[in-house]
Amino acid sequence: MNKIATYLNEHLAGEVITHDSVLRQAETDGSILARRPDMVVRAADMNDIRKVLRFCSQLAEKGHVLPVFARGSATDATGAAINKGIAIDLKTHMNRVVGSDPKQRLIHVQAGLAVSAANAALTTHKGLGLPNVSYTDEDGTIGGAINTSPAGTMTGAHGFFADTVQQLEVVLSNGDAIQTGRISKRELNKKKGLSTFEGEVYREIDNLIADNAELISQLDPSLPDTAGYSAIAKVKQKDGSFDLTPLFMGSQGSLGIVCEAILRANFVHPEYSVVAAPFKHIADAQEAASLAMKNKAVSVELIDGRILRQAYLAGKRLEWAPKECFRGAVVIAIFDEFSDRARVKAAKKMMKKLSAIDAINISLIDMEVQGLASLHSSLALMEAPSEPHMTAPRAFSGIWLADQQIAGFAEDLKALESTYGYALPMFVDFSNNYTALYPRFDSKKVSERQKILQLFAEVAQLVDKHEGSFAAFGGDGRLKSSFMYKHMPSDEKQLYAKVKKIFDPMGIFCPGVKMETPMKDLAAEMNAWCKIRNQA
Q: What is the CA radius of gyration of the chain?
A: 23
Percent of the chain as helix, strand, coil, to the nearest 5: 40, 20, 40
Mean pLDDT of 251-268: 96
Residues 6 or more apart whose Cβ sits within 8 Å of residue 275? 292, 297, 332, 333, 334, 335, 347, 350, 351, 354, 362, 363, 364, 365
| Closest by CA position to 484, among listed 454, 463, 511 | 463
Mean pLDDT of 373-400: 92
Whether pLDDT at 536 is above 90: no
pLDDT digits (tens, 9 = 90+) for 38-60: 999 999 999 999 999 999 999 99
Whether pLDDT at 1 is above 80: no
Q: pLDDT grade, residue 370 (50/70/90)?
A: confident
Per-residue b or e along 150-177, where b marks 16 or more CB atoms closer than 10 Å to that residue's CB: bbbbbbbbbebbbebbbbbbbbbbbbbb
Residue 292 vs residues 317, 319, 531: alpha-carbon distances, Å: 25, 21, 45
Mean pLDDT of 123-145: 91
pLDDT digits (tens, 9 = 90+) for 429-460: 999 999 999 999 999 988 888 899 999 999 99
pTM of the model: 0.95
Please indicate whether residue 92 or residue 268 has the higher confidence score (pLDDT). 92
pLDDT digits (tens, 9 = 90+) for 282-336: 999 999 999 999 888 999 999 999 999 999 999 999 999 999 999 999 999 999 8
pLDDT digits (tens, 9 = 90+) for 172-195: 999 999 999 999 999 999 999 999
Cα 249 from Cα 159, distance rounded (Å): 15
Mean pLDDT of 23-32: 95
Q: How many CA atoms lie within 13 A of 280 on its CB side?
A: 6
Residues 6 or more apart whose Cβ sits within 8 Å of residue 316? 377, 378, 381
- The predicted structure's pLDDT at residue 158: 83
Cα 474 from Cα 251, distance rounded (Å): 10
Cα 229 from Cα 216, distance rounded (Å): 11
